[in-house]
Structure 1
Amino acid sequence: MSADQVHRFVFSGFGYRCRVVENPAPRTEPIVVIGGAFQNMYSYRRLEGTWAEAATVVSVDLPGSGGSDALPAAYGFDFLSDVLADLLERLAIGRVNLYAVSYGVPVVYGLAQEHPRHVARLALMGAAPIYPPEGLRGLEAMAEALANGDAEGYARRSVEALMAPSDRPVRNRAAVTRLLARDMAAIQGDGFQRHHASTRRVIDWQGLPAGGLTGIPTLCFTGEHDTLTRPDLGRDVAARIADSVFTLVRETDHLPALERHREVSQLLLRFFTDQPLDTLDFLTPLERPSRAPLDVAAGVAPGGH
């Protein structure tokens, strides 16, 4: 494998960048990672080692994220979908495996609807058709702390909004809590404005566009104790996608890639290389919500295989 290559581009006046770890003998299409609202193109290095053995890996800082240009909250996820399409055209790497996390889900969902030719497989973690009122209250509290320049308050509110209550069994809770609080409390300078714009973009989001997806194998998953993008919301997203599988990662919440990073890395590698998922003991039983109406009509219980 070659060393990291960082590319910088401009779309509609906004600079963005990506990091490419090339595999000269891949076993599957390139894996493109679109992280969460407060992550950057280095956030998934703990997971990507396994993927890089099988594919070229592309991590992206869209405008508003990481080291890319700031992006005002008035620019919605449809704009970010256009930026992602621009990136894939520039890289000219053919069809790709897209992995999107939370904030990244509307970005890749919009791209898959408008440019399905770019997508070989789709993995959506922490998906929701729209954020529920209780989730929005947590995000509003985060935005308020950012607007006041209160880094410690922002860190505290982030833990409250993104992690499950203490009575839920979550792997590595103490370590992840410390990591999340440390990273959020470390923001300074224009970081407040950047994080505030990203948070407002989520709060102001009007939900996934009408119409589902067809022709793209899709994995939807989150933590079984996710209180921000609850399991029922992820199941709803999966039901809109014709060839989708839905499952939950046991003993995690909205942050399974931090709480069980080895398992999530294995899950994604298996999915992107067309290996079976039903033997992974850290998952709940696989579901196919998009088939439920047909299954009921045929006399099969919803969720049956």
Structure 2
Amino acid sequence: MHRFVCGGFTYRCRVVENPAPLTQPVVVVGGAFQDMYSYRRLEGPWAAAATVISVDLQGSGGADELPGSYGFDFLSCALADLLDRLGLDRVNIFGASYGVPAVYGLAQERPERVARMALAGAAPIYPAAGLRALRAMVEGLEAGDTEVYARMSIAALLSPADRAVRNRAIATRLLSRDMGSVAAADIPRHIASTRRVIDWEGLRPGGIEGVPALCFTGEHDSLTLPDLGRAVAATISGSAFTQIREADHLILLERPREMSDLVARFFTDRPLHDLPYLTPLEHPSVPDLAVVG
């Protein structure tokens, strides 16, 4: 494990070395309530093809707390700092949900450093309904009521019960356990991360050129709706968009094997057509950053 300091705050990463890689290193940036171990059970296919670097950026996991006044541009700079410190010229980079703005910002500012980019649960800006749900989460936590926080997290991150979602009961149980057991010392971290999302003004204009990209979401995602993922893909020249069937925002918990396979295939230039767990690949070409919902 490595610890580095950028902008006065410490972040950390773990590196799984591959001595005979088939592709550029894979950098993994998880969601708001995840850490650098959250994707460990998915990384087998990734580690078979490349060195894998999982990151706790400032404000996440075991990194320093980051005040909510610091935005995602700061985290994009931290990612660039990571690549410099590890001596990585170009990488494959995966960003999920909260990690998307930081990863997108890196690719926008330093496209020459990104060989391929995969984004899960992306949105150009969060819709009004999603922001209301996130505010309810924060209000519960600010009141010190972790049971309310867990309940509001389930409402915000899981799709309605009438949607066909694989492993819904498991995802609900794990989310309820993790959010309902937040330690008092970690409450400020959770509040700051959620407020960073609430206060986010959306992706910067200008889009991205020269970075092969895949945007995907669960077909029943009710937070970062599929149309929002399409809108992000439309800002990236030549990108592809697809949906993982029978999943919502919590793909990691609901269809981990499929997510792992999809990202591994994309980072090693293998075909993505006709995979049974995906909707047909799309190639959005006209930016549409209208807020949905």
Same fold (TM over 0.5): yes
The secondary structure found in structure 2 opposite 1:98 is strand
Q: Distance in 2 between matches of 1:290 and 1:34?
A: 26
> 1:93 deviation in Å?
2.0
- Name the aligned partner's letter for residue 124 of structure 2: P
Check the 8 A contact 2:18/2:51 in 1, yes or no: yes
> 1:188 deviation in Å?
1.0
> 1:247 deviation in Å?
0.3
> 1:102 deviation in Å?
0.6
Q: Distance in 2 between matches of 1:80 and 1:252?
A: 28
Q: Aligned pair 1:65/2:60, yes or no?
A: yes
Q: Aligned pair 1:145/2:140, yes or no?
A: yes
The secondary structure found in structure 2 opposite 1:290 is coil
1:9 corresponding residue in structure 2: 4
- Name the aligned partner's letter for residue 234 of structure 2: A
The secondary structure found in structure 2 opposite 1:124 is strand
Q: Aligned pair 1:184/2:179, yes or no?
A: yes
Of the three residues 224, 229, 238, the one matched with 2:224 is 229
Check the 8 A contact 2:72/2:102 in 1, yes or no: yes
1:102 corresponding residue in structure 2: 97
Q: Distance in 1 between matches of 2:211 and 2:261?
A: 21
- Name the aligned partner's letter for residue 201 of structure 2: Q
Write out per-residue CA displacement over residues 163-185 of structure 1, whole angstroms, 9 at most, x where no aligned residue: 00000000000011000110111
1:272 corresponding residue in structure 2: 267
Rg larger in 1 or in 2? 1
RMSD: 1.1
Q: Distance in 2 between matches of 1:292 and 1:128?
A: 12
The secondary structure found in structure 2 opposite 1:107 is helix
The secondary structure found in structure 1 opposite 2:285 is helix
- Name the aligned partner's letter for residue 109 of structure 1: Y
Q: Distance in 1 between matches of 2:287 and 2:185?
A: 47
Deviation above 2 Å: which 4+ runs of structure 1? none
Q: Distance in 2 between matches of 1:171 and 1:36?
A: 20
Of the three residues 231, 238, 257, the one matched with 2:233 is 238
Q: Distance in 2 between matches of 1:61 and 1:31?
A: 14
Write out per-residue CA displacement over residues 91-145 of structure 1, whole angstroms, 9 at most, x where no aligned residue: 0122100100010110011111111111000000000000000000000000101
Of the three residues 251, 261, 284, the one matched with 1:289 is 284
Structure 1 residues not aligned, in runs of 5+ = 1-5, 294-305
Identify which range, 85-94 or 165-174, moves more after superposition: 85-94
> 1:23 deviation in Å?
0.2
- Name the aligned partner's letter for residue 130 of structure 2: G
Q: Distance in 1 between matches of 2:58 and 2:240?
A: 30
> 1:146 deviation in Å?
1.2
Aligned-pair identity (%): 67
Q: Aligned pair 1:118/2:118, yes or no?
A: no
- Name the aligned partner's letter for residue 221 of structure 1: F
1:3 corresponding residue in structure 2: none
Q: Aligned pair 1:200/2:192, yes or no?
A: no
Structure 2 residues not aligned, in runs of 5+ = 289-293
Of the three residues 34, 39, 43, the one matched with 1:39 is 34
Q: Distance in 2 between matches of 1:75 and 1:9?
A: 18
- Name the aligned partner's letter for residue 49 of structure 1: G
- Name the aligned partner's letter for residue 94 of structure 1: D
- Name the aligned partner's letter for residue 222 of structure 2: T
Of the three residues 89, 93, 112, the one matched with 2:88 is 93
Q: TM-score when scaled to structure 1?
A: 0.93
- Name the aligned partner's letter for residue 169 of structure 1: A
Closer/same/farther in 2, CA of residues 141 and 277 from structure 1, 3 Å limit: same
Q: Distance in 2 between matches of 1:64 and 1:149?
A: 19
Q: Distance in 2 between matches of 1:291 and 1:176?
A: 35
Q: Could you say which structure has the greater relative contact order, defined with CA pairs below 8 angstroms and 6 or more residues apart?
A: 2
Closer/same/farther in 2, CA of residues 51 and 132 from structure 1, 3 Å limit: same
- Name the aligned partner's letter for residue 205 of structure 2: A
